[in-house]
């Protein structure tokens, strides 16, 4: 497929690069590279800064899914850090509250955050700079403030009424009852204090210390179903990533409960078509990609779930043989009948991605998310950041499907 007509130019560099939607976060990562840090150091600094500057999309209350490439040994490592519901969670409990599915916001939609645990795991395994140094930029922007960019201002404007419905959120994000607008200075002293405690106390402070105690109390006072052990027992998953080949190149992805397998399934389906002379906006190419996505998303909705509690044929779905069978369902002349029924259709899909590379060839690919705009919209004490609502993306109560709630289950949502 040709890309000559893309409006954005390809950027090249020889000493390293940080690619993110947040200029301030990119600057934080580049600063680390310029000071002799590796790609992993820069990625951690970038991730931490994004949790401050991209408030609707990620935060220390969110989750992370990461791929890390070490040039020295050509090894790719996957890290997934997505939290489970409170141990008191059950479908029966929510039915008694008059609910037919988990809410998209509020304390009942919250899971144990995985972001900070991912930071510490990345630092322990890959980084060369002190942990607290890599959080400097994030702490600075939280404490001194930053000018709200247009897209973030739009997110605040469209969600401010919902945010104001939670007193703790209103106090932190809508200070003085004012919705942050484009160019306004957004200061979050509470978040700065939380980040300082994390910088010195690490993940233990976040999951077992005073921050954790405040958070559990705040969540449960608001009707949550958490125990101290729910937070203390959180551990990131470290693994060899899943993968496939695409036209001679090896492609890696994060394991479930992320949705990385969808990417691999789509590539396998598309590989059977010749796209050599087609531009990125060619109607036939777009049709093929849409149909491949419809098949993959339908498979997700029918089969996928947290592998710790749901058995499903992941290896088969990302195999070439499976793609060969399903590819025949794609009609080149008309739309297929497969209905993806996108579960996240009711949300605005706010998740953010960045990648980093250094001059040695090390590279990091990082997704972190609150699942939809401002996540649960609920800020628990000791957090100063909205919590993820990955548990609440249109979860049904049918125990026979992978979308059922389970106290040890994470939804396939990212």
For residue 400, what pLDDT is reported? 43
Is residue 77 located within the same domain as residue 178?
Answer: yes
- The pLDDT confidence band at residue 285, using thresholds 50, 70 and 90, is very high
Q: How far apart are CA 26 and CA 64, in angstroms?
A: 18
For residue 217, what pLDDT is reported? 94
For residue 92, what pLDDT is reported? 81
CB 194 within 8 A of CB 172: no
For residue 5, tell me if it sits in a domain. no
Least confident of 129-133, 148-152, 401-405: 401-405
Q: What is the mean pLDDT of residues 316-323?
A: 98
For residue 301, what pLDDT is reported? 87
119 pLDDT more than 90: yes
**Closest Cα partner for 43 from 329, 363, 368, 289?**
363
For residue 61, tell me if it sits in a domain. yes
Is residue 213 located within the same domain as residue 106?
Answer: yes
- The pLDDT confidence band at residue 348, using thresholds 50, 70 and 90, is low
* Per-residue b or e along 303-322, where b marks 16 or more CB atoms closer than 10 Å to that residue's CB: bbbbbeebebebeebbbeeb
Is residue 225 located within the same domain as residue 252?
Answer: no
For residue 134, tell me if it sits in a domain. yes
For residue 355, tell me if it sits in a domain. yes
Is residue 98 located within the same domain as residue 210?
Answer: yes
For residue 65, what pLDDT is reported? 97
Is residue 270 located within the same domain as residue 369?
Answer: no
For residue 411, tell me if it sits in a domain. no
394 pLDDT more than 60: no
CA-to-CA dists, residue 362 to 10, 36, 241, 246, 253, angstroms: 20, 13, 16, 22, 17
| C-alpha atoms less than 13 angstroms from C-alpha of 137 in its C-beta half-sphere | 23
- With tokens 């942050």, the residue in question is 180
Q: How far apart are CA 405 and CA 89, in angstroms?
A: 8
The catalytic position among 49, 351, 388, 413 is: 351
122 pLDDT more than 90: yes
Domain boundary among 345, 379, 409: 345
Is residue 262 located within the same domain as residue 334?
Answer: yes
Q: What is the pLDDT of residues 213-251, one digit of tens each?
A: 999 999 999 988 899 999 999 999 999 999 999 999 999
For residue 52, what pLDDT is reported? 98
Is residue 94 located within the same domain as residue 217?
Answer: yes
For residue 195, what pLDDT is reported? 98
For residue 11, tell me if it sits in a domain. no
351 included as an active-site residue: yes
Is residue 61 located within the same domain as residue 206?
Answer: yes
339 pLDDT more than 70: no
**Across the beta sheet with 351-358, what order do the strands follow?**
16-19, 351-358, 363-369, 63-70, 75-81, 237-239
Least confident of 186-200, 240-254, 268-282: 268-282
**Would you give the distance in Å from CA 243 to the centre of its chain?**
19
For residue 264, what pLDDT is reported? 99
Is residue 81 located within the same domain as residue 143?
Answer: yes
Domain count, the chain: 2
Beta bridge partners of 65: 80, 367
Averaged confidence pLDDT in the chain = 89
Q: What is the mean pLDDT of residues 129-141?
A: 99
For residue 344, what pLDDT is reported? 44
- The pLDDT confidence band at residue 273, using thresholds 50, 70 and 90, is very high
For residue 382, what pLDDT is reported? 61
403 pLDDT more than 50: no
For residue 248, what pLDDT is reported? 96
Is residue 314 located within the same domain as residue 257?
Answer: yes
- The pLDDT confidence band at residue 386, using thresholds 50, 70 and 90, is confident
- With tokens 């690069």, the residue in question is 17
33 pLDDT more than 60: yes
CB 153 within 8 A of CB 272: no
For residue 312, tell me if it sits in a domain. yes
For residue 311, what pLDDT is reported? 85
Beta bridge partners of 249: 246
Is residue 333 located within the same domain as residue 371?
Answer: no
For residue 396, what pLDDT is reported? 45
Q: What is the pLDDT of residues 41-98, one digit of tens each?
A: 999 999 999 999 999 999 999 999 999 999 999 999 999 999 888 888 877 887 887 8
For residue 313, tell me if it sits in a domain. yes
- Provide the token pair at 316: 């088969």
For residue 353, what pLDDT is reported? 96
- The pLDDT confidence band at residue 391, using thresholds 50, 70 and 90, is low
315-322: list long-range contacts, CB under 8 Å, 24+ apart: 317/261, 317/265, 318/242, 318/244, 318/261, 318/264, 318/265, 318/268, 319/268, 320/244, 320/268, 322/265, 322/268
Bigger pLDDT: 258 or 204? 204
Q: What is the pLDDT of residues 351-370, one digit of tens each?
A: 899 999 999 999 999 999 99
Quote the pTM value: 0.91
- With tokens 């049904």, the residue in question is 396
Element (H, E) at 355: strand 351-358
Is residue 233 located within the same domain as residue 251?
Answer: no
For residue 342, what pLDDT is reported? 54
Q: How far apart are CA 54 and CA 115, in angstroms?
A: 14
371 pLDDT more than 80: yes
**For the domain that residue 270 is a member of, what is the CATH number?**
1.10.246.130
DSSP assignment of 258-327? SSHHHHHHHHHHHTTS--TT-BTT-HHHHHHHHHHHHHHHHHHHHH---TTT----HHHHTSHHHHHHHH
194: buried, middle or exposed (CB in 10 Å: 19+, 13-18, 0-12)?
A: buried
**Would you give the distance in Å from CA 342 to the centre of its chain?**
17
Find the domain containing 126 and state its range: 16-238+349-392
């Amino acid at each position: 497929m040709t890309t000559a007509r893309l409006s954005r130019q390809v950027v090249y560099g020889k000493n390293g690069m940080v690619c993110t939607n947040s200029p301030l976060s990119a600057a934080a990562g580049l600063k680390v590279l310029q000071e002799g840090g590796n790609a992993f150091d820069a990625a951690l600094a970038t991730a931490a800064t994004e949790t401050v500057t991209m408030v609707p999309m990620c935060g220390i209350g969110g989750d992370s899914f990461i791929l890390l490439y070490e040039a020295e040994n050509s090894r790719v490592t996957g890290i997934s850090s997505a939290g489970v519901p409170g141990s008191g969670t059950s479908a029966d409990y929510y039915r008694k509250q008059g609910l037919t599915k988990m809410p998209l916001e509020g304390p009942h939609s919250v899971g144990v955050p995985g972001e900070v645990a991912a930071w510490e795991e990345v630092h322990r395994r890959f980084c060369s700079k002190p942990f607290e140094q890599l959080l400097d930029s994030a702490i600075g922007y939280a404490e001194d403030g930053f000018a709200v960019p247009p897209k973030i201002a739009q997110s605040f404007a469209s969600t401010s009424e919902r945010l104001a419905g939670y007193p703790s959120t209103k106090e932190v994000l809508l200070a003085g009852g004012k919705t942050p607008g484009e160019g306004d200075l957004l200061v979050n002293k509470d978040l700065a204090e939380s980040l300082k405690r994390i910088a010195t106390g690490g993940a233990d402070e976040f999951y077992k210390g005073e921050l954790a105690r405040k958070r559990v109390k705040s969540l449960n006072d608001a009707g949550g179903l958490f125990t101290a052990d729910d937070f203390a027992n959180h551990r990131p998953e470290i693994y060899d990533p899943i993968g496939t080949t695409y036209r001679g190149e090896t492609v890696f992805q994060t394991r479930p409960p992320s949705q990385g397998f969808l990417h691999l399934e789509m590539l396998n389906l598309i590989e059977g078509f010749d796209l050599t002379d087609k531009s990125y906006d060619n109607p036939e190419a777009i049709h093929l990609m849409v149909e491949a996505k419809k098949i993959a998303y339908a498979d997700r909705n029918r089969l996928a779930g947290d592998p710790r509690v749901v058995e499903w044929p992941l290896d088969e779905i990302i195999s070439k043989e499976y793609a060969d069978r399903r590819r025949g369902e794609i009609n080149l002349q008309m739309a297929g009948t497969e209905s993806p029924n996108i579960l996240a259709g009711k949300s605005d899909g706010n998740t953010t991605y960045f990648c980093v590379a250094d001059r040695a060839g090390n590279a990091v690919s990082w997704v972190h998310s609150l699942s939809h705009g401002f996540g649960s919209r609920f800020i628990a004490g000791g957090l100063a950041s909205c919590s993820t609502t990955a548990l609440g993306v249109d979860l049904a109560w049918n125990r026979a499907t992978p979308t059922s709630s389970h106290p040890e289950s994470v939804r396939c949502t990212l």
